[in-house]
Amino acid sequence: MFYLGLCAAVLAGGLYLDRSSAKTAPPREISALHEDLARERASSDVLEVARWAIASHDHDGLPFLVIDKSHARLFAFDESGRLRAHGPVLLGAGFGDTPAAPATPAGRFVADTWLSGQSDAIVWVHAGVTVSLYAAPSPASPGRAQQRLASGRVEDKRISDGSLHVASDFYREHLAPLHGRASVAYVLPEARPVREVFALAGREPQLAAQSFNPIPLTRRLS
């Protein structure tokens, strides 16, 4: 009995170690990430959060997005953490990271496949707060969406009620496969340091949304 128990303990320990090691990204993945983001001139905050998500396996092996509000850019990564696409994004007109329209809240959000299936948007949720992403133009998109997306000015992209909007071609080619599927979205803060919003050294991120009363961001622009 003792021998069997010892074997079980060793096997359990081995499984635990294997699982832990599986959640540590190999150096080549991190190196590839640095090269990809440097080539696309991503901000240091995008690199820091993407690197943390991959190294800690926080994205749980799912496709994920990093939305850089300060520069109105979106970066899409596949399940392995490789950068697959990037482009401009329309954001909330309000400045700040709290879940109150018309600001786009900061934090880590997980796709709600049911809500996404009920709309023409990809919907991510955390603690009752939703962030929706649409292909523009759409009935939910702000006016002159295509012109704003083509503008080189970040200010021109701060126009929505808090929802996200990308060019229809970009959505169709790179993001449509995420509709109705599990994925993760990391929305970077603009009013607070990244390290105050995400616990980058730990497994579970600390979300800005936890400090405020959740307000759903599902209303459409009139």
Q: Could you tell me how far CA 15 lies from the centroid of its own chain? A: 30
Show the tokens assigned to 220.
């459409």
Cα dihedral angle (55, 56, 57, 59), rounded to 10 degrees? -100
Across the range 56-83, mean pLDDT stands at 97
- At residue 202, does pLDDT exceed 70? no
Give, to the nearest 10 degrees, the angle between helix 27-39 and helix 44-55. Answer: 160
User: Which class is 2-211 in CATH?
Assistant: mainly beta
pTM: 0.79
Please state the domain extents for the chain: 2-211
Confidence of residue 24 (pLDDT cuts 50, 70, 90): low
For the stretch 98-155, pLDDT in tens is: 988 899 999 999 999 999 999 999 999 999 999 999 999 989 899 999 999 999 999 9
Task: Please tell me the predicted confidence (pLDDT) of residue 199.
Answer: 73
Per DSSP, which regions of 26-183 are E strands?
64-68, 73-77, 83-88, 91-92, 107-111, 122-126, 129-136, 158-160, 164-167
